[in-house]
Structures are given as structure tokens and as C-alpha cells.
Structure 1
Amino acid sequence: MPDSPPRRDIRIVTETELRQIIRLDRQTVDVIEAAFAALASGAVVMPPVLSMELADVHGEVDVKTAYIPGFDGFAIKVSPGFFDNPKLGLPSLNGLMILFCARTGLVQAVFLDNGHLTDIRTAAAGAVAARHLAPERVETAGVIGTGVQARLQMRAAHLVRPFSRLLVWGRDTAKAAACADDLARTLGIDARVADSAERLVRDSQLVVTTTPARSPLVMAEWLHPGLHITAMGSDQAGKTEIAPEALVAADLYVCDRASQCETMGELRAVKAAGLWPGGTPVELGQVIAGEHPGRPGPEAVTLCDLTGTGAQDTAIATHVFKRLGESGTSIPV
């Protein structure tokens, strides 16, 4: 009688369970920072993002993955974003991650996170950018956008640059006020609504843009010495938050992945306008790895373009798997 194949289990973990396992803290920021550093090594296998726009329903779907040598697993993440969902009382983002064993290719876990892990790793990436590119001292931070990611980005930024004042701007003043009130309570700081995006940028040392805008929200003439901007809303062709003139006016432009930013980030609009001076842009992983000095000086203007990478998804998924404990349901296969 032939031997039976060895039993293996797949862990099925819900959003509720994941929220108990993973938090937006310094450890999570370090995990995502390590993923960016790995990208700089050139050994990571990360195919282009599979992206599909559903314009008639104001939606999109992205599929991301990456294999990082030395990691026990690799993730494939499916992330739908349907931006009219809040009108229905539903979150804009949902989706799931599947974690595979990097040695055998077998499924190890399915994370039914409804976008929670994406939210956390995206916010952590913003903290990594602030840690390496923002001024050492930030008194006033500003966020353009009023949703979940706006709140998470400011919580993440506060971990690495603990500012005492926060400005919030959004097209809906009531939502901006709610966001400011929420962050004032969460962070224990002075948070208020800015009169305009311009006022917010001019008064801040650290700005994060978190919108699905398709026309620029930040203009070149608003930039000032000692400013850092992290733009994370442009993650698909057609989106843009930063005027092309503002990007090229910065003393240093850094992207998460040059090939992605050329097709779906802020760099795409700059190249389309014929304003890119040429050359390969600096990647965040190169700054982390010490291959580039990063911020030129305290008075410099820096800009980081984050489109979201599959390496971040693999990093957060493997981190969660190590911390599972008894959480989740094991399905024998």
C-alpha cells in the first residue's frame, strides 16, 4: 500500500482576527523598510502590476506579488478599490492576500483582510519615506485627503516624526473636520482643517497626499525650503496629485519602484508633459541601503512617489504568518 501524502493545512484568517494580530507600529514600519531595502539589492522578483480600471463604476482592481530571496513565503494580493462605496456605507478598499511557501509553492494561508493589510503596509511605507526623507524636526504636518488612509498615514508619520500640529484638507469640509477631530483624539495633538490645500502645504514641513485625484492638488509655487511631500494616491494611469512642475522643482525626487512610477505614479505625468530631465530616478530602497545619501540638506524640498509594491505585500503577509499563533481556521488539504 503506497504511503499517504503528508497532511498539510491552509490557514484561513479573517479581517477581525488579523486586526488582533497586526498593528501599525514601529515593528511593522521596520518590516516594510526591510522590503524596500531588499528591492535595492536587485534580487527581488517583482512582475509589473496587473491593473484593471472599471471607469463606469468608479472602480479598479490591482494584483501585486513579489518573491524576496530569504523570505519563507511570497504573497499574491488582489486589491479592488471602488470609490463610490462610502455612499453605500461600505469601505472603498477590500480584497485578500494568498501566502505561498517559497520552497514548495504550496498555499500556506489565505488572509481575508478586506484591504486591512494593504492599508497597514501602505501607511507603514509612508512612515519609511518620512523616516528617511523628511526633515529631522517636524512641527506641522499636513494631509490632503480625509479617508482611512489619511488617518493611517498621519498615525504612521507620527511614529517617526512626532509633530505637534496637524492640518487636514479635503474637498468635503465636514469630512475634513471629522478626520481632524479623529486624529486629534488619536494622537493627542492640535489638529484642524486648513482653509485650502495651498495653505496646508505652505504651513507644513511634512505633507502626505492620499486621494484618487486625476488633476493636480499640489502646485510648484507652494513649495518652500524644509518641505517633504509623500504622494501615495497615484497608483494607476490617469491619477495625479502633484503638478508635474512641482515634481521637477523638488531638490530630490524618490520613487518606490521606477518602472511602476513611470506608468502609474506621479512620474508618468511628468514624462507625458516632457518635463523629466532624464536619467533613472532614485528609489527609496537605495536611500535605505545607503546607496544614495537621501535628503540633500535641512532646507531641501523632497518628494517621494509611492505606488505600492508587491514586495510590501509579501513582507506584511510573511510577518503576519509568523505571528498567527492559534488564530485562523486550519483547512486540511
Structure 2
Amino acid sequence: MYLFKEKPIRNTIDVNQQALSLIEDGFRRLQAGEVTMPPVLSMPIADKNGELDAKTAYVKGMDQFALKISTGFFDNPDKGLPSLSGMMLLFHSDTGFPAAVLQDNGYLTDVRTGIAGAAAAKYLAKDEARIAGIVGTGTQARFQLRALKMVRPSIEKVYVYGRKKERIEAYQREMEHELGVTTEAADLETVVRNCDVLVTTTPSTEPFIKKEWLHPGLHITAMGSDAAEKNEIEPDVLGAVDILACDAASQVFSIGEHRTAKESGVIDESSTVEIGAIISGDAPGRETMEQVTFCDLTGTGVQDTAIAVYTYDQLKASGEGLEITEDE
């Protein structure tokens, strides 16, 4: 069994085209029925504004599968700490014996979540999208923009909304320097009405994106809602779009934005299509410049297995990691 620590993981794994291909393949195989993936285990820690989630998936034919334990404590930025943490355990598929412990401190979740957003934008956003709208100023707001810029290099301006001025300004400085974009802080309505691609990245429990702000050509990726109590998007938004997509239909009606939309009667379970079906060509992605598209990302165990196996292979090949024997 190998132990991989955070520093070599961060130095080796990042948002890139190879990782995107692996995440896309995971979504495709999930939609094709080649993945065993149980429901997410989620435990709120309400008095600490925190949560714990556990996700796993076995992909037929893969030599390993992952179990990911992640935590989100959303007051951490006020303490100078990232909101997300966690680790991944990798097991051999033929024996069930542990293959590796990946002490990534939530980094691999950040990467694979950002890449999932890139996959959604790749198939659903306008080809020449120029303006992004980002709601939130945390770690995932950064990864989502990095990943979006990878698949839509035409992005040149970013509208950003956040609740705290100092965190908005820090986000603007960092993204302008790293990605060469111009940024502008704005209210929510201005962000939505002026962007080609909107990404919401908050743990909000009250919806804040409104139907009347939608406009032709807009794509929305909502990735903040990954628990039953979370909700970023007003329900009638989902009923108004031309293409409604999700990462996993087995999850989004219980822990995603689809939940409140179904409860409100604006959609039903036949209204949505998994992003894996769009990736495989079994369902159409964006077909016109005017369509309004939406993708609900709740986070899946297949993403965790894909990124964990990729990390294991990359680090083992480069000689990183500590091999632990039975005697140790």
C-alpha cells in the first residue's frame, strides 16, 4: 500500500485535458450502466456550519476503486483556512485490499469538481463564450474559472458576486494575474444578465438565481447544491431552460437543484438528461446560439474514482509516495 501526501499530489495533478478526458469517460460510463455507485452518505454538522460527505464508485474493468471522505466547513475562510478538506482511499478491485491513501486535504475534490464544470461547459456553453459570471469567491470559484478557461479560452471578462469585499478583491487579483482576464464585481442580477456562462459555487440554502434574469445563449452550471438542504437556483429556472442536464439522475432529485424544481412541479424525472449521454452522443448538447442550457452538478463517486486512479498512476510512475509494508 502507498501513502501519497498533499504536496506531491498538488505538484503533479491539476486541471488539464488528460484529467478532463478521464472525467468525461467516467460520466459516459455512468450513463451507460457500467458503474456501481451507491447514494452519497451526507452528515450535516449544523452548529459548526459544516458537513461530511462520503462517495464511492466501482467502474467495471478498472483495477482500483476509490472511497472519498470530504468535509466542508464554510466558516473556515474567516479563520484563514479553506472550506473543504478530506482524503481518498484507493482499493484493489480484484481483492478489496487497500492500494493507497491519498492525503490530498480535499485538493483532488477541488480538481475533479472544477473539471466536471469544464465538461458541462464544453458541451453546453456557446463555442465563443466571452463573458463568465461566477457566484462565490472561494476555492471552487477559482477552480471553476480555471477549468472553464481551459475549454472556452475565448473567456476574457468575468463578473463576480460575493458577500465580502476583501474576498471579492482577492479573487479578482488572483484570477486577473493567473488567467489574464478582466474582472468586475457586481450584484447578482448584473452578473447573470451580462454573462455567457454562469457558475454558482455557494453552499446557500436559499435560492438566489431568478428566471427573469435568463437570456438567450446563457449556460448555467450549478454546483453548490450537493445536499438536501442546499439550494442556489429558483425552481422555475429549471423549467424554463431548453436543455436541462445533470451529472447523475440518481442523485439530483434528492440532493441537487432538481429536487425543489420537481417538488414545485416545473419538471419531472423525464425532463433531464445526464451529461454522460451528451458526451457519448446519445443526447444532443447545445445546437443553437440562442438556447438556454443548465447543468446540475452534485458530485459523483465516479469522478472520485477517476481522479484517484489517475493520481495513483501518475505518482507511482514518478516514484513519489511511501510504500507501506505489513511489517510497518
CA distance in 2, matches of 1:98, 1:180: 35
Counterpart amino acid of residue 332 in structure 1: T
Give the aligned partner of residue 319 of structure 2: 326
Q: Following TM superposition, by how much is the alpha carbon of 1:138 offset from its aligned partner in structure 2, in angstroms?
A: 0.6
- Amino acid corresponding to residue 114 of structure 2 in structure 1: A
Cα deviation 1:164-204 (Å, max 9, x = unaligned): 1111111223211221121011101212212x111011110
CA distance in 2, matches of 1:187, 1:159: 10
- Work out the percentage of aligned pairs sharing the same amino acid: 48
- 8 Å CA contact 1:217–1:242 kept in 2: the answer is yes
2: distance between equivalents of 1:318 and 1:16?
17
Residue 212 of structure 1: aligned partner = 203
Q: Is the 8 A contact 2:217 2:292 kept in 1?
A: yes
Aligned to 1:184: 176
Corresponding residue of 2:244 = 253
CA contact (8 A) 2:211 2:236 kept: yes
Contact between 1:119 and 1:149, CA under 8 Å: does it hold in 2?
A: yes
Q: CA deviation at 1:274?
A: 2.5
Output the CA distance in 2 between the equivalents of 1:221 and 1:167.
18
Task: Name the aligned partner's letter for residue 166 of structure 1.
Answer: V
Report SS of the residue matched to 1:332: coil
Q: Which residue of 2 aligns with 1:239?
A: 230
Corresponding residue to 2:161 among 169, 178, 182: 169
Report if aligned partners of 1:139, 1:165 keep a CA contact under 8 Å in 2.
Answer: yes
Measure, in 2, the Cα distance between the counterparts of 1:21 and 1:102.
24
Q: Which residue of structure 1 aligns with residue 23 of structure 2?
A: 32
* Equivalent position amino acid for 2:324 in 1: I
> Rg bigger for which structure?
1
Q: Structure 2 CA distance, aligned partners of 1:217 and 1:311?
A: 29
SS of the residue 2:36 aligns to: coil
Change (3 A) 1:177 1:280: same
Partner Cα separation in structure 2 for residue 296 and residue 52 of structure 1: 40
Report if aligned partners of 1:258, 1:280 keep a CA contact under 8 Å in 2.
no
For the pair 1:160 / 2:151, whether they are aligned, the reply is yes
Q: Give aligned pairs, total.
A: 323
Question: 1:88, CA displacement in angstroms?
Answer: 2.0
Asked if 1 retains the 8 angstrom alpha-carbon contact of 2:238 and 2:267, the reply is no
- What's the TM-score, normalizing by structure 1? 0.95
- 2:38 counterpart letter in structure 1: P
1:68 Cα deviation after fit:
0.5
Q: Equivalent of 2:47, from 34, 56, 79?
A: 56
Q: Distance in 1 between matches of 2:271 and 2:37?
A: 18
1:252, CA displacement in angstroms? 1.1
- Equivalent residues in 2 for 1:192-231, closer than 5 Å: 192-194=184-186, 196-231=187-222
Gaps of 5+ in 1: 1-9
**Alignment of structure 1 residues 9-28 onto 2, 5 Å:** 10-28=1-19
> 2:82, 2:159 → 1: CA distance?
24
What residue ranges of structure 2 are gaps of 5+ in the alignment?
A: none
- Equivalent of 1:92, from 56, 61, 83? 83
Q: Which moved more, 1:289-298 or 1:216-225?
A: 289-298
